[in-house]
Amino acid sequence: MSTEVFGARPERSPAQSGVGSPAIREARRQLEICNACRYCEGYCSVFPAMTLHRVFPDGEVTQLANLCHNCRGCYFACQYVEPHEFGLNLPAALADVRLESWERFIWPSGLASIFQKSGVAVAAVLVAAIGFMLFIAGTLRPASGEGFYAVISHSVMAGLFTAATVLPLAVLSVGVWRYWRHVGGERLTLGHVRDALADAGMLRNLSGGAARGCNYEKDDHFTMVRRWAHQAVMWGFVLCFASTTSGTVLHYGLGLEAPYGPLALPKLLGVPGGVAMTIGGGWLILLKLRADRALGARAAWGGEMAFALLLAAAAMTGLVLYWGATPATVRPLLVVHLGTVLALYLTAPYGKMAHVPFRLAALLRDAQTRTRR
């Protein structure tokens, strides 16, 4: 093991001194110590990627931060956490850089900062405001329409969701492109895409170095609960997106308009997707409440909680609307559901949802570097 670890704090080269933000500089200091020790190199993708470098430019620190899944296993394995003089807390240091990268590359950055700090309040106000506007729109009852379209016209609903989908996707796409240039991303191959999608689909980095899971919710005890919750949310979201897509094809492509029966493809996809998202989102909320805030980005706690709440609420209100709506309750339930979903979409670039495309980009970049190891 390097003698740097056992002596004073390692000296940084003049090229590294003063480079980057305070969060970047602190993460770089900790990465240099971790790179000298290498005790945790089997824990996740961060550590083998780290060993390819002797120094860590800003782009590489940002890349490693977005590879990190904050499973916290390295923290509980580390001998240099407080009260040691090195005071390592790599999960928190990388979480701060990760949050900073989202705020830096997503436009406008000021909105991201506000949502991360006061996400629950912002989400509540946004849901209420959107719900109120939808309630007003609902008073202008359409001349014709069945099911939900008898409450709010198809043109109003389609226009709102088109705008709320296209604009956030455009903002996220530009942000990820800026990130890709910052970390030195190169031309992709099918092999890179295949490897990155396999990592993302299996949530491999949430299984720990020995497939034992995370230390997220039970201190130094490994569990798979966080991985299962993430998989429930991820695959639930995929099913719900597929449900919406199939409904669009049926409506515009085949002329089969809603409402659809219980055995129609949109319902066969959407109902299990909503159940999975509700269970997974509720699970993530409980884990977030139990987890040690000192091992993550403290400034992002509100935004992360708001994201989990919006996910669970969007799915749960959709299920209530499907199973429990009556002629007397369909209007308020529809307004609440649509308001929640629209709030989730509109806040996507500025909250924890941003981690999805940014982490996929980090996995793609990591797949590129692995081919050269």
Phi then psi for residue 223, to 5 deg, are -145, 160
Q: Dump pLDDT digits (tens) for 308-338.
A: 999 999 999 999 988 877 777 887 888 888 8
Encode pLDDT of 164-193 as tens digits: 889 999 999 999 999 999 999 999 899 999
Classify residue 208 by its DSSP letter: T
Token code pair at residue 267 = 């319902």
Helix locations, 38-153, DSSP H: 46-50, 58-67, 73-77, 90-105, 109-117, 119-139
HSE-CB at 201 with a 13 A cutoff on CA atoms is 7
Cα dihedral sign for 41, 46, 51, 57?
negative
d(CA 299, CA 303): 8
pLDDT of residue 140: 55
pLDDT reported for residue 182? 95
- Report the C-alpha gap between 371 and 110 in whole angstroms: 37
Query: Mean of the per-residue pLDDT values for the chain?
Result: 83
Output the six-digit token pair for 120.
């629950």
**Mean pLDDT to the nearest integer, 152-164:** 78
Q: What is the pTM of this model?
A: 0.83
- Check pLDDT > 90 for residue 286: yes
The one-letter amino acid at 175: G
pLDDT per residue as tens digits for the range 22-35: 999 999 999 999 99
Residue 223 DSSP one-character state: B
Distance CA(360)–CA(338), nearest Å, equals: 28
The pLDDT, as a whole number, for residue 139 is: 60
- Per-residue model confidence (pLDDT) at position 211: 58
- 190 burial type by CB count under 10 A (0-12 exposed, 13-18 middle, 19+ buried): exposed
* Cα distance between residue 99 and residue 185, in whole Å: 20
- What pLDDT band is residue 8 in, cutting at 50, 70 and 90? very low
What's the average model confidence in pLDDT over 70-86?
Answer: 91
pLDDT for 199: 85
Question: Which pair of structure tokens corresponds to residue 42?
Answer: 């089997």
Concatenate the DSSP letters of all residues of 255-271 into one string: --PSP--TTSHHHHHHH
Confidence at 2, pLDDT banded by 50, 70, 90: very low
